[in-house]
Amino acid sequence: MLSIVIIIAIGALAFAAINFGIVRKMSPGTPEMQEISDAIRIGSDAFIRHQYGVVFKVSLCVAVLLGLIVSWYTGVTFLLGVLMSGSAGWFGMKIATISNVRVSNIARETGDIGRTLKVAYRGGSVMGLCVGGFALLGLVIVYFVFGKLLGQTGTDGMKMTANWLDIHYIPFTMSLSGYALGCSIIAMFGRVGGGIFTKAADMGADLVGKTEAHIPEDDPRNPATIADNVGDNVGDVAGLGADLLESYVGAIISSVILAICLYYTNQTGAHKIEFTLIEHLMVYPLGFAAIGIVSCIIGIFFLLARKTSDNPHRELNLSTLISALLTIIGTGFFTASYFRGQATEAIGFNFGILSPWIAAVAGNLAGIGIGQLAEVYTSFDYRATRKLAEASIEGYALNITQGMAGGMKSVFFPVVIMTLAIIIANAVAGLYGVSMAAIGMLSYVVATVSVDTFGPIADNAGGISEMSKLDPKVRRITDHLDAVGNTTAAIGKGFAIGSAALAALSLFASYLYAQAGAEDTAGFALSLNFIDIMTLTGGLVGAALPFLFSGILIEAVTKVARQMVQEVRRQFRDIPGILTGESKPDYITCISISSAGALAEMKLPAMLSILAPLAGGFLLGPKFVGGMLVGTTLSAVTLALYTANAGGAWDNAKKFIESGKYGGKGSDAHSASVVGDTVGDPLKDTVGPSLDILIKIMAVVSLIFVSVFQKYNLLDWFSSLNK
Amino acid sequence: MKTIHYYLTIFPTEALIASMLDPVQFGSYMAQGTKRGSHERLMFVEVDGDFPSDFDWEYAHVRTVAHEDGRPKSSVYLGVYRILERVPFEHLGTLYLTTSGGQTLALEKDVFPNTFPKKPYYLYQDLCPVQPLVISAMPPGDYGTYMVSCDCKIQLPAICYCDLKVIDPADPVETGNLGPIYKRNLGHLEDCIEAVTTGGKLSKTLARTFAGNFTYQIVKSGFAFVQPDIRVWYPMPAFDDLIEQNYDWARSAMLV
């Protein structure tokens, strides 16, 4: 099975390489277009290089720490995770900066929206395939090297091991956790750093260029406009890719670790689990994910190989739908044949061998439901956003209060859907089913990431068309594709948040299992007593953490955006020829401000996610951290939904007014909606996406270190002094 | 050989300016190309120079010379008070509309239309020399003629104005990109419409200080320049034509 999985992973990467090559061979257009795209590409390259430089230094320190405190293989797999996630982000960013100008040029040469859509989607598919391919490739390497070669997945390897600090753990869980943490680190730095970069540039470009100087979006006279386009690549492409790769890996490893924990704690006794079943349960998520990738390759090929219509939204939906349906059907057959003959009752499969598949389908449907609800709360085709647009007539304050109200209300029903999915998945296949629900949600991640990446590529293409003064027909095509990309992006965020919640739940269960002693092989009761003061206070602190984290992020964006605003004002003041078109703005300084600001400001929130559970654990012990994880998960999931939906609604309310409602552009309602959109920008594109990574990083760090602070913590040390 | 352009600015203030800049450069310079940091809409007409008048043309010729470093002279003011009435409209050339973003659109003179589509009321933005927002029962041709005639109690020696798109008070959502004309006080708009449609009034002032918010999005059919003995008309291009032929201007003017 693993051989097939590795072939599929390599096949996905090969398909990505072919698409990369095809896009690269296309004409990059006129010298003027190339000059603009080169500036964007060089800026993006420079930022990612600097960012990865910082991340790799941090990663080396963390790897050494993991190697010393936990095990050498945790350190090594951690670096593998960093490498795989970093590679996906890097290649995604590269193809985005190559595709943008080619998308613009194909629109210029052909004037055909269908052909332009294909180039943008082909570019986006490279990111999607890299996410699926690198994630799975890394996992298979962990399985082969650490599982098979070092025997961690054999019967002898599935034992509690003690290291030199007398810390106990099951080796393969630490190998997998290290890999997941490596992916999470890149995702956190990518999302936080990219998010600060892109929103600071965006706000700087808008606040001075559009609002003060009255020049339109993507006007080449705006000094921050290239930085804004660079931000799309480093935040919305590289950051998004690393984010969803991390979610994908997090969902897969949570199920495998849970299976191992279930096996270890039920090797003997009344509910004994057979080893062959566990072998199956450990590989099943990989097979499931591999079928998802094959389905997505077919879905992508379906769009690229035939003549497309002039309706890009329909084409993208069709491709995603085909990927999703094939995944569901394919995994159904796979599940039935894979578990045939296995005694699955012991693991809690209440609906026979198809139980994990049913749980995954429940997760999948929940993901679709959450995505659709995101559209209901953010699209101007629905009442909530129209109500927000209407409130804008009465001014800035009511736009803000209505946006907050809509955002808060939008949290409830997605949470109800998640709750139902968790209850159903648990009823069908136990805790393993809950983790499969998370995998089900992300099973066609290749297709969703391809569509999500298509958005920023089209956005950049629009910017290049605008800056190089291409024909209005070209700009209409790229604007249309950009608008489609905006709609699809909101739906993708729902999947990321939903899967984070489900994966965090199974990681949390693993966290509790990881506290089992070497003797707990005949059952281990999972319990967390919320009346216990340590757990309760941990929950309180955990619930407050996402607010602290979000506050730091918003402040960082504000700080860098202020520097950007001052720089753009300075350039307009000191170089008067900019506005008359006689002098070129200094784009490089604006890119440097966003870049330096993002690099400086990303460290604190990223480190907070790692250090918070460690500080809690070493000071107050595992109960406190257990409470903390619950508190953080509950508060971060709801806050992420709020920020994503409120920000999306503010953005689309502005677009609704700009489409000629309530006075349209330049009206009082429009001015109010611009303020709302600016407030929502860091919420939906910096805070929201980072929160779901926060949940998983804290869960994985806690899982890795629980055995350490179970043994070494200040609270127990003080207690021992009193005895 | 130096070329001097003479520009009659009509909005936001009236003035006669001599300049070595061509109209596009002049529009950009006046709208935002200085260190002032201001971003203003500007409307101006190029006029023939040296026509018989009390303007000091000699002063213009002497002062409108390039700077020592070779830069062209941007502006020499020949007058800032009661200018419109002192320029015979036979000498008006092309009208230029400059956005606050510095993009300039040229509108050519046309024959003043004899008839306009019949409507129960019309909305006008007076641009020069006074700037109220007016609801009137008179179509664009009659309105200007009336304003400069002896029949009008508030007679003006000359007037420049444009007719505007009007919100349908019955459907305040589907307004199109009308910009700041969309106000919360729709009741007052309805009162003014009623005054000219059923109340017997010829015109009614809707707002005295709206001009600061005036934008090109709301111009309906064109710009009229009227003196007692002459009327000049500058038709506003159709939306689709603007998008096709003047996309950058249309975008800067927030039409798209």
Higher pLDDT, A469 or A287: A287
Q: How far is CA A498 from CA A65, A135, A384, A627, B32, in A?
A: 31, 19, 21, 21, 49
In this structure, the number of other CB atoms found within 10 A of the CB of residue A357 comes to 26
In this structure, the number of other CB atoms found within 10 A of the CB of residue A52 comes to 20
pLDDT in tens, A48-104: 888 888 888 889 999 999 998 888 999 999 999 999 999 998 998 899 999 999 999
Q: Select from B25, B37, B181 the Cβ nearest to the Cβ of A573.
A: B37
Beta-carbon separation of A666 and B254 below 8 A: yes
Yes or no: say if A686 and A561 are a contact pair by the CB < 8 Å rule. Answer: no
Return d(Cα A467, Cα A476) in angstroms, integer: 14
* Domain boundaries of chain B, sorted by first residue: 5-107, 122-234
Amino acid B170: pLDDT = 77
Amino acid B44: pLDDT = 97
- Both tokens of A100, joined, read 């943008």
The stretch B103-121 carries a mean pLDDT of: 92
- A518 has pLDDT over 70: no
Amino acid A280: pLDDT = 87
Give the chain A residue nearest B180 (alpha carbons).
Answer: A667
Beta-carbon separation of A660 and B35 below 8 A: no
Q: How confident is the model at residue A641 (pLDDT cuts 50, 70, 90)?
A: very high
Q: Select from A472, A581, A658 the Cβ nearest to the Cβ of B243.
A: A472
Question: Closest Cα partner for B97 from B51, B135, B42?
Answer: B42
A665 touches chain B (CB under 8 A): yes
Q: What burial class does residue A569 get, using C-beta atoms within 10 Å of its C-beta: 0-12 exposed, 13-18 middle, 19+ buried?
A: middle
pLDDT in tens, A416-470: 999 999 999 999 988 888 889 989 988 888 998 898 888 889 888 988 988 888 8
Return d(Cα A409, Cα A375) in angstroms, integer: 14
Beta-carbon separation of A212 and B101 below 8 A: no
Q: Select from A216, A573, A669 the Cβ nearest to the Cβ of B251.
A: A216
In this structure, the number of other CB atoms found within 10 A of the CB of residue A560 comes to 25
Q: Which residues of A touch B182 (CB under 8 A)?
A: 662-664, 667-669
Amino acid B223: pLDDT = 97
- A639 has pLDDT over 90: yes
- A268 has pLDDT over 80: no
Q: Which of the given ranges, A173-177, A424-428, B233-237, B249-253, has the highest pLDDT on average?
A: B233-237
Q: How many CB pairs under 8 A join A and B?
A: 93
pLDDT in tens, A557-599: 999 999 999 998 888 888 877 877 778 888 888 888 988 888 8
3-state secondary structure A501-532: HHHHHHHHHHHHHCCCCCCCCECCCCCCCCCC
Helix, strand, or coil (residue A539): helix
Give the chain A residue nearest B251 (alpha carbons).
Answer: A216
- B18 has pLDDT over 90: yes
Yes or no: say if A129 and A23 are a contact pair by the CB < 8 Å rule. Answer: no
Q: How confident is the model at residue A203 (pLDDT cuts 50, 70, 90)?
A: confident
Amino acid A152: pLDDT = 86
- A685 has pLDDT over 90: no
Cα A650 to its chain centre, rounded Å, is 21
Amino acid A64: pLDDT = 94
Amino acid B1: pLDDT = 54
- Measured CA angle at A638 (ends A632, A643), to 5 deg: 115
Q: Looking at the DSSP assignment, which residues form a beta bridge with residue A10? A: none
Yes or no: say if A497 and A410 are a contact pair by the CB < 8 Å rule. Answer: no
- Both tokens of B170, joined, read 């019955």
A669 touches chain B (CB under 8 A): yes
Q: Select from A213, A576, A665 the Cβ nearest to the Cβ of B254.
A: A665
Yes or no: say if A201 and A228 are a contact pair by the CB < 8 Å rule. Answer: yes
Yes or no: say if A433 and A355 are a contact pair by the CB < 8 Å rule. Answer: yes
Beta-carbon separation of A664 and B217 below 8 A: yes
Q: Nearest C-alpha of chain B: how many angstroms from A412?
A: 30
**Whole-prediction pTM:** 0.89
Instruction: Determine the residue among A665, A668, A671, A673 to mutate to test chain B binding: the one whose Cβ has the most chain B Cβ atoms within 10 Å.
Output: A665
Higher pLDDT, A531 or B36: A531
The stretch A684-713 carries a mean pLDDT of: 86
Amino acid B36: pLDDT = 52
Return d(Cα A42, Cα A195) in angstroms, integer: 19
Q: Select from B32, B178, B180 the Cβ nearest to the Cβ of A579.
A: B32
Query: Picking from A419-433, A611-625, B105-119, B201-215, which range would have the lowest pLDDT averaged per residue?
Result: B201-215
Average pLDDT, chain B: 89
* Domain boundaries of chain A, sorted by first residue: 2-517
Return d(Cα A504, Cα A500) in angstroms, integer: 6
- Strand B5-11 and strand B15-19: the pairing is antiparallel
Tell me the residue ranges of DSSP E strands in chain B.
Answer: 5-11, 15-19, 42-47, 76-79, 92-98, 104-107, 122-128, 133-136, 159-164, 203-207, 219-227, 230-235
Amino acid A502: pLDDT = 80
- Both tokens of A141, joined, read 């390497």
Query: Picking from A106-115, A214-223, A244-253, which range would have the lowest pLDDT averaged per residue?
Result: A214-223
Q: How confident is the model at residue B2 (pLDDT cuts 50, 70, 90)?
A: low
My answer on whether omega of the bond before B12 falls inside 30° of 0, hence cis, is: yes
Which value, to the nearest 10 degrees, does the dihedral of the CA atoms of residues A351, A356, A362, A366 take? Answer: 160
Q: How far is CA A29 from CA A39, A113, A312, B148, in A?
A: 15, 17, 23, 56
Q: How confident is the model at residue A18 (pLDDT cuts 50, 70, 90)?
A: very high
Beta-carbon separation of B178 and A214 below 8 A: no
Q: What is the ipTM of this complex?
A: 0.85
The stretch B169-181 carries a mean pLDDT of: 78
- Both tokens of A254, joined, read 């949570």
The long-range contacts involving A147-151, CB below 8 angstroms and separated by at least 24 positions, are: A147/A172, A147/A175, A147/A282, A148/A2, A150/A73
Task: Name the H helices within A575-687.
Answer: 577-580, 587-601, 603-658, 668-682
- Both tokens of A353, joined, read 């061998």
Give the chain A residue nearest B38 (alpha carbons).
Answer: A213
**Per-position b or e across B62-73, b if 16+ CB within 10 A of its CB:** eebeeeeeeebb
Yes or no: say if B159 and B226 are a contact pair by the CB < 8 Å rule. Answer: yes
Average pLDDT, chain A: 87
A674 touches chain B (CB under 8 A): no
- Concatenating the DSSP letter of every residue in B95-108 gives EEEE-TTS-EEEE-
Beta-carbon separation of B180 and A668 below 8 A: yes
Q: How confident is the model at residue B33 (pLDDT cuts 50, 70, 90)?
A: low
Q: Nearest C-alpha of chain B: how many angstroms from A70?
A: 60
- A460: Cα within 13 Å, side-chain hemisphere: 39
Question: Closest Cα partner for B143 from B168, B121, B165?
Answer: B121
- Concatenating the DSSP letter of every residue in B188-199 gives HHHHHHHHHHTS
- A682 has pLDDT over 60: yes
- B143 has pLDDT over 80: yes
- Both tokens of A320, joined, read 């995603």
The stretch A372-394 carries a mean pLDDT of: 90
Which value, to the nearest 10 degrees, does the dihedral of the CA atoms of residues A659, A660, A663, A665 take? Answer: 50
Q: Which residues of B touch A668 (CB under 8 A)?
A: 180, 182-184
- A161: Cα within 13 Å, side-chain hemisphere: 14
Q: How far is CA A583 from CA A221, A374, B26, B124, in A?
A: 9, 44, 16, 39
Please give the single-letter amino acid code of residue A26: M
pLDDT in tens, A598-634: 888 888 988 899 899 999 999 998 889 999 999 999 9
Beta-carbon separation of B180 and A669 below 8 A: no
Amino acid A368: pLDDT = 85
Q: In chain B, how long is the greatest CA-to-CA distance?
A: 64
Instruction: Determine the residue among B38, B71, B166, B178 to mutate to test chain A binding: the one whose Cβ has the most chain A Cβ atoms within 10 Å.
Output: B178
> Left, alpha or beta for A160 (phi > 0: left; psi -120 to 50: alpha)?
beta
A579 touches chain B (CB under 8 A): yes
B37 touches chain A (CB under 8 A): yes
pLDDT in tens, A326-344: 999 999 999 999 888 877 7
Return d(Cα A317, Cα B75) in angstroms, integer: 58
Return d(Cα A235, Cα A193) in angstroms, integer: 8
Beta-carbon separation of A573 and B217 below 8 A: no
The stretch B191-202 carries a mean pLDDT of: 90
Give the chain B residue nearest A390 (alpha carbons).
Answer: B173
Q: Select from A214, A394, A661 the Cβ nearest to the Cβ of B175.
A: A661
Q: Select from A214, A394, A580 the Cβ nearest to the Cβ of B100.
A: A214
Amino acid A600: pLDDT = 87
Question: Closest Cα partner for A557 from A617, A597, A585?
Answer: A597
Instruction: Determine the residue among B28, B30, B32, B166 to mutate to test chain A binding: the one whose Cβ has the most chain A Cβ atoms within 10 Å.
Output: B32
Amino acid A7: pLDDT = 93
- B211 has pLDDT over 90: no
A21 touches chain B (CB under 8 A): no
Beta-carbon separation of B182 and A669 below 8 A: yes
Q: Nearest C-alpha of chain A: how many angstroms from B116?
A: 25
Q: How confident is the model at residue B77 (pLDDT cuts 50, 70, 90)?
A: very high
Amino acid B38: pLDDT = 67
- A139 has pLDDT over 90: yes
* Residue located via tokens 């024909």: A471
B36 touches chain A (CB under 8 A): no
For residue A168, give the H/E element and its range.
strand A168-169
Yes or no: say if A170 and A161 are a contact pair by the CB < 8 Å rule. Answer: yes
Amino acid A190: pLDDT = 86
Amino acid A80: pLDDT = 94
Q: How confident is the model at residue A520 (pLDDT cuts 50, 70, 90)?
A: low
Query: Picking from A19-33, B1-15, B22-36, which range would have the lowest pLDDT averaged per residue?
Result: B22-36
The stretch A298-302 carries a mean pLDDT of: 92
- Both tokens of B96, joined, read 């230029």
